[in-house]
């Protein structure tokens, strides 16, 4: 299916501004040249109110594309955004820029354009919009970035504009079309292949940290209010698993924040390490405890000048008393247990810091 203004020859320009995303939403789908050529996201949604368009797609049976027959505006009103979506809209051209009066079954008035722009600027995710430069777009899309490219029409060559609401990406969702011509694309491909081989040779845990860092660099380019979580990529034998962690600013306890997963030694960093090791089949080996909280307790009880056997005896006593059960005991109960004499070898010993609070 070919459309006037379709992206059949220019899709790579659009794909080359796309940062990684989980959900891809292409409104004003038409022939959907971009949807067809880009690497699919985890979820792919195509929207068009024209029955002919939707039927043509359905007939092709591309099961990875969820088709929605309806208007983009109505779809946005009910879709629950998570922030990791990328919306691409290629609406019919603005009347001001159009050379022929009417080209689609479902056309777009100036009011339609205004409504669409108002919606797009309010979306809590990444958005790319394409069209010919016009005054409505430039006054509505304040602060958006633009990139232009030349596109052949059936009569001449015209400059098309891409407007997008994020920093130009340093990492692309699909890098296969990198480079403006064949030669540069080949060189880039080779350079990337060498890099890929290098990453494949890395130690698995190091590689996972590296990938998480790369991911984080990408999320840094998403405006603050959108980065509600951070994602860690963990490479396993069977593929990459993405795990979401709370945002670096989220509070863990009291005034301790989660921090960034790639910033040693934040809680998120350790959480990530533990999960990555478990998934790699190399769970963290605890020395004294059986769980992380037991291990931490054993370390705390053995610190501050307490002889090792006394620390271990205190820890064993607390563990047997049920101090690390699902519901933690009260501070008083803890203290009472620690005040009782400990059996260390043949001797009874008192734990010196029974009332000491961890700071």
Ligand X SMILES: C[S@@+](CC[C@H](N)C(=O)[O-])C[C@H]1O[C@@H](n2cnc3c(N)ncnc32)[C@H](O)[C@@H]1O
CB of 1 to ligand X, least distance (A): 7
Distance CA 139, CA 143 (A): 10
Of the ranges 25-33, 118-126, 216-224, 269-277, which one interacts with ligand X (CB under 6 A)? Answer: 25-33
Please tell me whether residue 215 binds ligand X under the rule CB under 6 A: no
Distance CA 111, CA 181 (A): 38
CB of 106 to ligand X, least distance (A): 4
CB of 135 to ligand X, least distance (A): 20
Cα→Cα distances 155→13, 101, 140, 158, 267, Å: 21, 16, 30, 9, 60
| Burial label, 359 (beta-carbon count in 10 A; 0-12, 13-18, 19+) | exposed
Build a one-symbol-per-residue string for 278-297: x at contacts with ligand X by CB under 6 A, - elsewhere.
Answer: --------------------
CB of 14 to ligand X, least distance (A): 9
Nearer to ligand X (CB atom), residue 155 or residue 327: 155
Of the ranges 30-38, 176-184, 210-218, 331-339, which one interacts with ligand X (CB under 6 A)? Answer: 30-38
Build a one-symbol-per-residue string for 33-62: x at contacts with ligand X by CB under 6 A, - elsewhere.
Answer: x-------------xxxx--x---------
Nearer to ligand X (CB atom), residue 98 or residue 319: 98
Please tell me whether residue 216 binds ligand X under the rule CB under 6 A: no
CB of 113 to ligand X, least distance (A): 10
Build a one-symbol-per-residue string for 62-91: x at contacts with ligand X by CB under 6 A, - elsewhere.
Answer: ---------xxx----------------xx
CB atoms within 10 A of CB 123: 17
Distance CA 26, CA 85 (A): 11
- Cα torsion 133, 137, 143, 144 to 10°: value is -60
Build a one-symbol-per-residue string for 88-127: x at contacts with ligand X by CB under 6 A, - elsewhere.
Answer: --xxx-----------x-x-x-------------------
Q: Locate 238 and state its tokens.
A: 């069977």
Using an 8 Å Cβ cutoff, are 167 and 159 in contact? Answer: no
Helices (H), the chain: 11-15, 33-37, 51-60, 72-78, 110-122, 135-140, 182-200, 204-220, 267-279, 292-302, 308-321, 331-339
CB of 180 to ligand X, least distance (A): 20
Please tell me whether residue 7 binds ligand X under the rule CB under 6 A: yes
CA dihedral sign of residues 114, 143, 20, 15: positive
Distance CA 23, CA 124 (A): 13
Check residue 290 and give left, alpha or beta (phi > 0: left; psi -120 to 50: alpha).
alpha
Nearer to ligand X (CB atom), residue 74 or residue 206: 74
Number of residues near ligand X (by CB under 6 A): 24
Strands, DSSP E only, in 78-156? 85-89, 126-131, 145-152
CB of 173 to ligand X, least distance (A): 17
Positions that interact with ligand X (CB under 6 A): 3, 5-7, 27-28, 30-33, 47-50, 53, 71-73, 90-92, 104, 106, 108
């Amino acid at each position: 299916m070919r459309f006037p203004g379709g992206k059949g020859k220019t899709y790579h320009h659009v794909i080359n501004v796309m940062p990684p995303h989980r959900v891809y939403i292409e409104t004003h789908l038409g022939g959907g040249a971009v949807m067809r050529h880009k690497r699919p996201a985890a979820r792919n949604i195509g929207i068009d109110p024209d029955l002919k368009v939707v039927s043509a797609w359905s007939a092709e049976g591309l099961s990875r594309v969820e088709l929605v027959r309806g208007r983009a505006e109505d779809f946005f009103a009910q879709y629950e955004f998570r922030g990791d979506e990328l919306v691409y809209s290629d609406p019919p051209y603005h009347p001001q820029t159009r050379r022929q009066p009417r080209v689609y079954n479902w056309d777009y008035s100036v009011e339609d354009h205004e409504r669409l722009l108002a919606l797009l600027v309010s979306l809590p995710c990444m958005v790319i919009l394409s069209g010919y430069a016009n005054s409505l777009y430039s006054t509505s899309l304040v602060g958006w970035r633009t990139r232009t490219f030349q596109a052949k029409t059936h009569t001449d060559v015209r400059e098309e504009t891409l407007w997008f609401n994020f920093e130009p990406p340093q990492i692309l969702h699909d890098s296969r079309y990198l480079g403006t011509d064949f030669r540069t694309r080949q060189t880039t491909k080779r350079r990337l292949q060498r890099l890929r081989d290098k990453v494949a040779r890395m130690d698995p845990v190091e590689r996972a940290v590296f990938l998480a860092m790369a991911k984080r660099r990408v999320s840094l380019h998403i405006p603050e209010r959108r980065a509600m979580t951070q994602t860690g990529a963990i490479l396993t034998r069977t593929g990459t698993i993405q795990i979401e962690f709370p945002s670096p600013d989220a509070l863990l306890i009291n005034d301790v924040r989660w921090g960034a997963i790639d910033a040693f030694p934040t809680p998120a960093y350790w959480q990530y390490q533990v999960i990555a090791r478990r998934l790699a089949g190399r769970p963290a080996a605890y020395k004294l405890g059986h769980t992380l909280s037991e291990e931490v307790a054993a370390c705390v009880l053995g610190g501050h000048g307490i002889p090792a056997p006394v620390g271990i005896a205190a820890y064993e006593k607390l563990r047997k008393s049920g101090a690390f059960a699902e519901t933690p005991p009260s501070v008083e109960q803890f203290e009472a247990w620690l005040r009782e004499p400990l059996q260390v070898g043949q001797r009874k010993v008192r734990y010196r810091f029974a009332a000491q609070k961890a700071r």
